[in-house]
Amino acid sequence: MNGSVPAGRIFGIPLRIHWSAPLLVVFLGFGLADQTLQAWVPGQPAAVYGLAGAAGALLLMVSLLLHETAHAITARRLGTRVDDMTVFALGGVTRMGRPATPKRQLAVTLAGPLTSLALAALAIAAGLGTHHALHWTLTAAVLLWTGWANLVLGVFNLLPAAPLDGGRVLQAIVWWRGRDRESAERIAGRSGQVTGVLLSALGAAELLNGAAAGFWLVLIGLFMWSAATAEVGRAALVGALRGLRVSHLMSAPVVTGPDWTTVERFLADVTARTHHTAIPLVDFEGRPSRLVDLRRLTLIPPPDRAQLRVRDVATPLTRCALAAPCDDLVEVLDRIAAPPPILVLDAGRLVGIITADDIERTARRRLAAASRSN
């Protein structure tokens, strides 16, 4: 996700924190300290309220992280590729491949909300236990608030609307009952669009009535509508590409460049021979070794281009998206961690390349042809 930074690993899965997540901690911490906790447990010093509010906000962020970790671990155990997890102000997102069956998708999807509901039960039980043992304290209040927040998170996430977990559940059920995967994704996406509009309208009405909480409903609704619209578009694109092999889209022959040359020489000699912005590199023996982005090369200061080797600023082949000519295109798109371009290899030889433009152009052409035939 753009705007996020690496923050370590959890069970070997890369974790990223979006810039909005710390803002949420500050916002929630201030709201808890200044309003909620003072109303629930009056008469405490301001510094104590501040510490308790910060603790509650951090507990909620940890809860969001555990929610996403449950998705990721379940997916990995069921054989689905997991790329990374990102926590941001409106929740979290786990980048992963698509589960191979509706049963696996259902298991991966339900892992998150069930974790949130379990955390809600634990926090509420701990809060009530603390209250009975120590009477009404800030500790009990923070625990009960954390439990309530996780309960809301778990229940809200089960709404049958993409991109929420409930939308994935709806998609898995529709897919399970015999519809193709893309149709199920479109149904869940349409539900998400409707839900997003309704939430935004409800939030706008609350804002007009003077309720500041309506701002969050508008924000969540707009996010849902945008994400659901993207999912509907992706489902249409994947459906249009269904049945195609990699060889049907790849461009060949491929313009390549030597990985040992300087950036200055590379820009002068190679870029004029291709319209692609990503160019494969080959080693002394002609074997593909790396992929270089021309946009990255142009950002290098001119004085440095004569000394810097192009291979030093290129992506190693091990981190590139790779496929064979006979591979099913949709299966390749599902399994690759890196975005296009896709380098097409046959027995170790570079025989073609597929760019994002190639994929979009082919999908649009096939969608237009299908529309005319209907």
Q: pTM for the full model?
A: 0.81
**Closest to 182 in 3D by CA, of 98, 104, 266:** 98
Average pLDDT, the chain: 91
The answer to whether the annotation marks 248 as part of a ligand binding site is: no
Per residue in 139-193, pLDDT (tens digit) is 999 999 999 999 999 999 999 999 999 999 999 999 999 888 889 999 999 999 9
322, pLDDT greater than 80: yes
Catalytic sites, residue numbers: 68
Per residue in 251-289, pLDDT (tens digit) is 888 889 999 999 999 988 887 788 788 899 999 988 999
The answer to whether the annotation marks 283 as part of a ligand binding site is: no
**Would you place residue 336 in the very low, low, confident or very high pLDDT band (cuts 50, 70, 90)?**
confident
**Closest to 327 in 3D by CA, of 243, 252, 245, 242:** 245
The answer to whether the annotation marks 71 as part of a ligand binding site is: yes
Sign of the C-alpha dihedral, residues 15, 213, 220, 122? positive
Domains in the chain: boundaries:
4-158, 175-242, 246-373
Please count the other Cβ atoms lying within 10 Å of the Cβ belonging to residue 135: 8
Distances (CA, A) of 12 to 122, 224, 292: 26, 29, 28
- Give the span between the Cα atoms of 13 and 171, in whole angstroms: 26
**Would you place residue 132 in the very low, low, confident or very high pLDDT band (cuts 50, 70, 90)?**
confident
Per residue in 179-220, pLDDT (tens digit) is 888 899 999 999 999 999 999 999 999 999 988 778 989 999
Per residue in 70-122, pLDDT (tens digit) is 999 999 999 998 989 999 887 889 988 888 899 999 999 999 999 999 999 99
- Where do we find the tokens 């949709």? 330
- 246-373: CATH architecture: Roll (3.10)
What's the rounded mean pLDDT across residues 24-50?
91
